[in-house]
Chain A
Amino acid sequence: MQNKLKIIALMLGAAGLASHAVQAQEKVVIGYISDLSGLYADLEGKGGATAIQMAIDDMGGKVLGQPVEVLSVDHQNKPDIAASKAREWIDTAGATMIFAGTNSGVALATAKVAQEKKRVFFTNGAATSALTNAQCSPYTVHYAYDTVALAKSTGGAVVDTGGKSWFFLTADYAFGHALEADTAKVVKAKGGTVVGTVRAPLNASDFSSFLLQAQNSKAQVLGLANAGGDFINSMKASKEFGIDKSMKVAGLLVFLTDVKSLGLPATQGLLHTTSWYWDADDESRKWAARYEAKTKNKPTDIQAADYSATMAYLKAVEAVKSTDADKVMAYLKKTPINDFYAKGVIRPDGRMVHDMLLAEVKKPSESKGPWDLLKIVKKVPGDQVYTTKEESTCALWK
């Protein structure tokens, strides 16, 4: 009997704590939803959580006088899991900000939840430009990069150097479709043509058959509109089948970890766009060294953006002295970002506009260390690569 009483008392206590969390809106709770174990886990994953925690620690661990809490979950690349988790966190754990990681499908689904519940929504890992265009929301901040910027930067650079006819190998979901469509638009606008497209299921184990179709198309450029493990396996097969001898391979979304994993001999010369590179300047090197001390790896651009975005959010909450989403968003949109990751502004549509880096993978002979992988070809100004006001269909930016 006594035990039963104890249990009931405990349950009441727990319920009390939970309702306390809901009422005490001034406590900052960040809900981080990313791929922690699947094909995208190295791009952001646990390293993203580390970066977020680093930002919180740099703020002294507390905002508005209360410790900042981080919840995290593995979305397993399933939008339904992510959306229901976000809902649960907002309803029962008092999440004040949803931080959605890699996977565009997941980001689109959770952004909807955040909009409905009026919570600040950040995403760095997701690429689809729909987040700040057709499906834009007053609570979304799309921070690191998007498919339009990748398309205009990498796609534009490849067409300019003579790659006029394209064949796309596309990941068959929201992200791949967006990247393919945005790049095709750039190619056509610059007088090029799209000869064909093949859409491969996410996480396919063998890409050789798709690559042969690309080769048979006789296009000059093979555009890889995929990412992470899919990108790695298609690059590997394109070497094996000698595709790279008859076609120029353009990686439309390439991460540092992809290059590291494939190795320089297999990737040298690959032109791609990244939102940040650890070795680009002193400030970046300094932060990367701190991150490496914790994780034994250099950060990807997404992980660096995770730090920067968390910092921007926490400072905004501190400045408006509230976690109220409308107030925080208003502050974020009028305050420029200026740190090691980027110098930029958050536009009315939620897009953080900052310069991108057009990079080329180094030759093995040029590399001086295990992470010395890229050379920066040029800085591409943000206003040249992100969606323009004329192109935008977002009602918030009219």
Chain B
Amino acid sequence: MNISMPALLSQLLLGLVNGSFYAILSLGLAVIFGLLNVINFAHGALFMMGAVLSWMAMNYFNVNYWVMLVVAPLIVGVFGVLIERLLLRWIYKLDHLYGLLLTLGLTLLIEGGFRSVYGVSGLAYSTPEALSGGTNLGFMFLPNYRAWVVVASLVVCFATWYAIEKTRLGAYLRAGTENPRLVEAFGVNVPLMVTLTYGFGVALAAFAGVLAAPVIQISPLMGQNLIIIVFAVVVIGGMGSIMGAILTGLGLGVIEGLTKVFYPEASATVVFVIMVVVLLIRPAGLFGSEK
């Protein structure tokens, strides 16, 4: 098979776009797992909620994309706070599996609810005007919106990383992960921190959902396929590692993109093959450390 350089470049770029979604979603999962030890299966459903909310706002209230880019994550974040306060807090003492089952149940409820209202064919959401059209890069025609996806998600990812790794608040968070009792003894309200962290993690999912709305047809099922891949990304990057989640997300997007050129039939499975290999060689993931 001969692939020209321009074709290869364009595929790398597209891989990066998809990788941006993986990065932002796996980042949210990693933050939540890091502090709550909960495997948040509802992440895909909340991602979908972000997208559907922006569609609803546009269709029923004529609220545009830019507003929803901020408002949808806030709404979903508040929803997340409720989930944490009402449901998740009861199961922290139990095995990881219970958190997984609880959030899986939530996923089924949320997706089922939206499916019964909107069906599965999906809702059309057009690209915001300021970002419609595209740029000819010489080797490919890149829709402006896709470029925006990469920029927006990189900014959000690295801001999150900075907040957690380099600020005082982040230091509390990290300390809370290591030893919640000790941190509480210093007068930090750990339960509140945990609640807000979950809210923030799912707000990231909703942000990704709004970003995806003009690209993927908005449908109750849109989170389902993505979330399985994103879990694999988190496992490959290492559970709880912030930078690991970001870099692995971007990297796997690119690898998946290349697979689509060289052996498209395997593009749905390549991430899982890598996951198996990584687990065999480094069970804690590429960036994780064994506790």
Contacts and interface: CB of A to CB of B under 8 A. Distances in A.
- Which interface residue of A209, A213, A258 has the most chain B CB atoms within 10 A? A209
B221 A240 contact: no
B226 A205 contact: yes
A205 B120 contact: no
A240 B15 contact: no
Interface string B15-59: 101100000000000000000000000000000000000000000
B216 A233 contact: yes
B120 A206 contact: no
B225 interface: yes
Interface stretch (A36-44, A63-71, A78-86, A113-121): A36-44
Contacts of A37: 115, 120
B134 interface: yes
A41 B215 contact: no
Contacts of B267: 200-201, 204
How many B residues are at the interface, by size bracket? 35 or more
Interface stretch (A138-146, A260-268, A277-285, A325-333): A260-268
A266 B132 CA distance: 14
A199 B265 contact: yes
Interface residues of A, number: 38
B7 A210 contact: no
Contacts of B122: 229, 232, 261
Contacts, number: 107
Nearest to A201: B268
Contacts of A201: 264-265, 267-269
B143 A241 contact: yes
Interface string A189-209: 000000000111101111011
Given A209-B11, A213-B261, A42 B121 contact: yes
A41 B119 contact: yes
A264 B219 CA distance: 18
A165 interface: no
B264 A261 contact: no
A363 interface: no
A40 B119 CA distance: 10
A236 interface: yes
B123 interface: yes
B85 interface: no
Contact of A240 (B121, B127, B260, B268): B127
Contacts of A39: 120, 221
A257 B226 CA distance: 23
B120 A41 contact: yes
Contacts of B127: 240
A60 to B, nearest CB: 30
Nearest to A297: B119
Contacts of B121: 42, 228-229, 232, 257-258, 260-261
A229 B265 contact: no
A146 to B, nearest CB: 22
A42 B119 contact: yes
Contacts of B217: 229, 232-233, 236, 261-262
Contacts of A242: 134, 141, 143
B198 interface: no
B260 A42 contact: no
B222 interface: yes
A260 B134 CA distance: 26
A237 B141 CA distance: 12
A213 B257 CA distance: 12
- Which interface residue of A172, A199, A229, A242 has the most chain B CB atoms within 10 A? A229
A326 B234 CA distance: 56
A212 interface: yes
B10 interface: yes
A213 B258 CA distance: 12
Contacts of B119: 41-42, 257
B14 interface: yes
Contact of A210 (B17, B123, B222, B264): B264
A3 interface: no
B124 A262 contact: yes
Contacts of B120: 37-42, 45, 228-229
The 6 closest A-B pairs by CB, nearest first: A201-B268, A261-B121, A209-B260, A42-B121, A41-B120, A263-B124
6 contacts: A209-B11, A212-B14, A213-B260, A229-B122, A233-B217, A242-B134
Interface of B: 4, 7, 10-11, 14-15, 17-18, 115, 119-124, 127, 134, 140-141, 143, 145-146, 215-217, 219, 221-222, 225-226, 257, 260-261, 264-265, 267-269
Given A240-B143, A260-B121, 12 more contacts: A40-B120, A41-B120, A198-B260, A209-B261, A210-B260, A212-B10, A232-B122, A236-B215, A240-B145, A242-B134, A261-B122, A263-B124
